[in-house]
C-alpha cells in the first residue's frame, strides 16, 4: 500500500513551497488509494510551538488535505531511544568529545590545506578512557559506510551520492536531544504504518544518502524517495518561513480559491496541466512525477490570481456561496468575469451597498459629470417606472453622453464615480443594477465641494 507523509516542523507558518510538498504527498496517496500521514517534527523544543502546529492543521485543511493519522515526534521518544541502543549495540554509534571550538579549528586546518571539511573520525581512534576522563558529556555520531548510495528517484531518476563526502552525522547531541535524521527514519519505518514513498525537497538528497544507511542499519525496508526541485519566488530567491515568503495565511487573506492554489502548486515545475479541475481528485489523477523538471520553478503570485479567476468564471452564485455566504446572486453574473479572489468579491459588494461613498471626481471631469447628472434627471424621468425598458434607457443615456466625450474618457470618470474602479461589468447592466437614485446620488457626490 502507498503510504506518504508530510513532516513539517512547527517553527513558523507553512510557505507555498511547504504547502506544495504536503499537497504532492497527499495527491500521490490519493492517486493510489493509499494513506497520508501528517507528522509533526517537533524535536527542536526551543523553536517548535503549539500555535504554529495548529496553524499547520488549519492551513492544510484549508487547502483540502485530509490525513489518516497524525502524530508528534515529541511523543515517540521511547521508540527513538530503542533505535539509538540498537545502533550502539551494533557499534554504529560512537561517542565523541570534541568541543565546537576544537571541531572548528580542525575545519579551518582542513580548509587551509585545500581539503574538504569532513570529520576525521579521530574519536574512533582515541583511547576509550580519555573522553570520559575529560569530564565532558559525549555526543554520538553514526558511522557511515563509505560507499556510493544509489537509488531510483521518483522525480530525479537514477541518483547516486558517495558518503565519503559526508561527515559522520551526529545523531545524539550532547544534551541528549536527537537528530531529525534518526527520528525520521524510525517514524518512516514504523511497522504499523511504514512509509512507502517519501516525497520531499531536493535539499534533502544528502540526507537520503545517510538515511538509506540508517534504514539498512535498523534492518527495515527503505521507502522510495522522490526529490522535487525547490521553488523560488518570482525574483529567484529561495522561499523561507523566516523571510516572509508567500505563506498559506497570505493566500487565504487574498481570498484565492483553495482549489486554484492547489492546482498552481501541483503543476508548478511540471510540463502538464489538468484541463478540467473540479476537485483534488482531478489533480491526483494527473499527477505524474516524470513530468517534473529539474530546474527550480519560480512562483509568481499572479499565478494564483489567474487560476482563481478561471475557476470563478465557471462558478454559479450557489457555488460561490460556500466561500462567500452573503453573495448577491443577481449581481454575481455581472462581476463573475472580473473576479480573481474573494477580496475582489468583497470589494464589489461594498460598492453595490447603497450607502457606499465614492471618490471625488478629478477637476477636469466635474463639468462632464454634472452635465451627465442633469441629463439623467431631465431627459429620463421614467427610468425607474418601467423595468422592462430600463436597460435600453440606460443605453440611450450613455449614447447621449457621447455628444460630450469620446474614447476612454467617456466612461472612465463615470465608472470611477460609480464604483471607484476602471473596470467592471458592462455599464448598462451595472447602471440598471444600481438604479437611478443611487447613480444620481453618486454623480452628485463626485462633484460636490
Ligand atoms: N521536518 C523535515 C523538514 O521540514 C522533514 C523532511 C522530510 O520530509 O524528511 O525539512
Grid cell 456561496 is found at 321
Rounded average pLDDT over 44-49:
85
Convert the pLDDT of each residue in 391-432 to its tens digit: 889 999 999 999 888 888 899 999 999 999 999 999 999 999
User: 449: CA distance to ligand 1 center in Å?
Assistant: 61
Poorest-confidence range of 18-27, 124-133, 353-362?
A: 124-133
pLDDT at 352: 96
Mean pLDDT value across the chain: 93
Rounded average pLDDT over 68-79:
97
Grid cell 465608472 is found at 415
Q: What percentage of the chain exceeds 70 in pLDDT?
A: 98
Please tell me if the CB atom of residue 42 comes closer than 6 angstroms to any atom of ligand 1: no
pLDDT at 243: 67
Those residues whose C-beta lies under 8 Å from the C-beta of residue 288, and which sit 6 or more positions away, are: 270, 272
Please tell me if the CB atom of residue 41 comes closer than 6 angstroms to any atom of ligand 1: yes
Please tell me if the CB atom of residue 227 comes closer than 6 angstroms to any atom of ligand 1: no
Rounded average pLDDT over 108-114:
93
| Mutational test site, ligand 1, from 180, 189, 226, 227, max ligand atoms within 8 Å of CB | 180
pLDDT at 235: 79
CB 438 within 8 A of CB 385: no
| Mutational test site, ligand 1, from 8, 179, 197, 214, max ligand atoms within 8 Å of CB | 8
pLDDT at 54: 97
CB 358 within 8 A of CB 446: yes
Map out the domains of the chain with their CATH numbers: 1-89+144-164+176-314 (3.40.50.620), 363-447 (1.10.10.350)
User: 223: CA distance to ligand 1 center in Å?
Assistant: 15
Q: What percentage of the chain exceeds 90 in pLDDT?
A: 82
Those residues whose C-beta lies under 8 Å from the C-beta of residue 411, and which sit 6 or more positions away, are: 398, 427
Is pLDDT at 364 greater than 80 in this prediction? yes
Closest among 423, 252, 302 to 351, alpha carbons compared: 423
**Angle at CA 306, nearest 5°, toward 302 and 310?**
170
pLDDT at 75: 95
Banded model confidence at residue 246, pLDDT cuts 50, 70, 90: confident
Please tell me if the CB atom of residue 73 comes closer than 6 angstroms to any atom of ligand 1: no
Closest among 93, 81, 9 to 43, alpha carbons compared: 9
Q: Which helix (H) or strand (E) holds 129?
A: none
pLDDT at 47: 87
pLDDT at 308: 97
pLDDT at 168: 98
CB 273 within 8 A of CB 260: no
Is pLDDT at 240 greater than 80 in this prediction? no
pLDDT at 385: 66
Is pLDDT at 129 greater than 90 in this prediction? no
Measured from the Cα of 41, ligand 1's closest atom is 1
Q: How far, in Å, CA of 436 to CA of 439, rounded?
A: 5
Report residue 6 as a C-alpha cell.
508530510
pLDDT at 170: 98
Report, in angstroms and rounded to the nearest whole number, the Rg of the chain calculated over CA atoms. 31
Report residue 82 as a C-alpha cell.
530503542
Banded model confidence at residue 381, pLDDT cuts 50, 70, 90: confident
Q: How far, in Å, CA of 100 to CA of 78, rounded?
A: 28
Helix (H, G, I), strand (E, B) or coil at 171: strand
pLDDT at 48: 87
Please tell me if the CB atom of residue 12 comes closer than 6 angstroms to any atom of ligand 1: no
Closest among 78, 82, 66 to 23, alpha carbons compared: 66
Measured from the Cα of 201, ligand 1's closest atom is 8
Q: How far, in Å, CA of 208 to CA of 198, rounded?
A: 10
**Considering the entire predicted model, what is its pTM?**
0.91
Convert the pLDDT of each residue in 295-336 to its tens digit: 899 998 899 999 999 999 999 999 999 999 999 999 999 999
pLDDT at 211: 98
Sign of the Cα torsion 113, 114, 117, 121 reads negative
Reading across the β-sheet that carries 139-142, which strands appear in turn?
A: 93-96, 139-142, 170-172
The residue whose CA is least distant from atom 3 of ligand 1 is 8
pLDDT at 136: 84
Convert the pLDDT of each residue in 259-309 to its tens digit: 999 999 999 999 888 888 889 999 999 999 999 998 899 998 899 999 999
pLDDT at 127: 75
- The number of C-alpha atoms within 13 Å of 349 and in the hemisphere containing its C-beta is 14
Banded model confidence at residue 241, pLDDT cuts 50, 70, 90: low
Convert the pLDDT of each residue in 175-200 to its tens digit: 999 999 999 999 999 999 999 999 99
Convert the pLDDT of each residue in 136-180 to its tens digit: 899 999 999 999 999 999 999 999 999 999 999 999 999 999 999
| Terminal Cα distance for the chain, rounded | 73
Rounded average pLDDT over 26-46:
95
Helix (H, G, I), strand (E, B) or coil at 48: coil
Those residues whose C-beta lies under 8 Å from the C-beta of residue 107, and which sit 6 or more positions away, are: 117
pLDDT at 353: 95
> How would you classify the pairing of strands 232-233 and 170-172?
unpaired
Rounded average pLDDT over 28-51:
94
Amino acid at each position: 500500500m502507498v503510504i506518504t507523509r508530510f513532516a513539517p516542523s512547527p517553527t513558523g507558518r507553512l510557505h507555498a513551497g511547504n504547502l506544495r510538498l504536503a499537497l504532492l504527498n497527499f495527491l500521490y496517496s490519493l492517486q493510489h488509494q493509499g494513506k497520508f500521514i501528517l507528522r509533526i517534527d517537533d524535536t527542536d523544543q526551543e523553536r517548535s510551538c503549539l500555535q504554529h502546529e495548529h496553524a499547520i492543521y488549519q492551513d492544510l485543511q484549508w487547502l483540502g488535505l485530509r490525513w489518516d493519522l497524525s502524530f508528534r515526534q515529541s511523543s515517540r521518544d521511547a521508540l527513538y531511544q530503542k533505535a539509538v541502543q540498537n545502533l550502539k549495540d551494533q557499534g554504529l554509534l560512537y561517542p565523541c568529545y570534541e568541543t565546537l571550538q576544537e571541531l572548528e579549528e580542525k575545519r579551518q586546518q582542513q580548509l587551509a590545506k585545500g581539503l574538504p571539511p569532513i570529520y576525521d573520525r579521530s574519536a574512533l581512534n582515541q583511547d576509550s578512557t580519555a573522553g570520559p576522563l575529560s569530564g565532558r558529556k559525549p555526543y554520538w555520531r553514526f558511522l557511515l559506510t563509505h560507499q556510493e548510495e544509489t537509488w531510483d528517484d521518483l522525480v530525479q531518476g537514477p541518483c547516486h551520492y558517495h558518503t565519503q563526502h559526508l561527515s559522520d552525522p551526529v545523531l545524539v547531541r550532547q544534551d541528549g536531544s536527537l537528530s531529525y535524521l534518526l527520528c525520521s527514519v524510525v517514524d518512516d519505518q514504523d511497522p504499523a504504518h511504514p512509509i512507502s514513498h517519501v516525497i520531499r525537497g531536493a535539499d534533502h538528497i544528502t540526507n537520503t544518502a545517510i538515511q538509506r544507511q540508517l534504514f539498512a542499519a535498523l534492518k527495515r525496508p527503505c521507502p522510495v524517495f522522490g526529490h522535487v526541485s525547490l521553488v523560488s519566488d518570482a525574483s529567484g530567491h529561495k522561499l523561507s518561513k523566516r523571510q516572509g515568503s508567500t505563506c498559506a495565511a497570505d493566500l487565504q487573506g487574498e481570498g484565492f480559491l483553495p482549489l486554484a492554489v492547489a492546482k498552481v502548486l501541483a503543476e508548478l515545475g511540471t510540463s502538464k496541466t489538468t484541463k478540467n479541475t473540479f476537485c483534488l481528485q482531478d489533480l491526483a489523477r494527473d499527477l505524474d512525477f516524470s513530468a517534473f523538471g529539474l530546474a527550480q520553478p519560480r512562483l509568481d503570485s499572479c499565478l494564483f490570481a489567474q487560476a482563481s479567476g478561471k475557476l470563478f468564471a465557471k462558478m454559479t452564485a450557489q457555488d460561490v456561496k460556500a466561500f462567500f455566504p452573503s453573495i448577491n446572486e443577481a449581481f454575481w453574473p455581472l462581476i463573475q468575469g472580473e473576479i480573481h479572489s474573494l477580496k475582489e468579491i468583497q470589494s464589489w459588494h461594498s460598492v453595490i451597498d447603497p450607502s457606499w461613498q465614492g471618490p471625488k471626481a478629478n477637476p477636469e471631469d466635474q463639468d462632464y459629470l454634472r452635465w451627465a447628472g442633469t441629463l439623467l434627471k431631465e431627459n429620463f424621468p421614467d427610468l425607474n417606472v418601467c423595468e422592462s425598458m430600463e436597460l435600453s434607457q440606460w443605453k440611450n443615456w450613455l449614447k447621449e453622453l457621447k455628444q460630450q466625450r469620446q474614447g476612454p474618457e467617456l466612461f472612465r470618470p463615470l465608472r470611477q464615480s460609480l464604483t471607484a474602479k476602471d473596470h467592471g461589468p458592462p455599464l448598462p447592466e451595472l447602471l440598471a443594477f444600481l438604479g437611478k437614485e443611487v447613480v444620481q446620488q453618486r454623480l452628485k457626490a463626485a462633484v460636490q465641494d
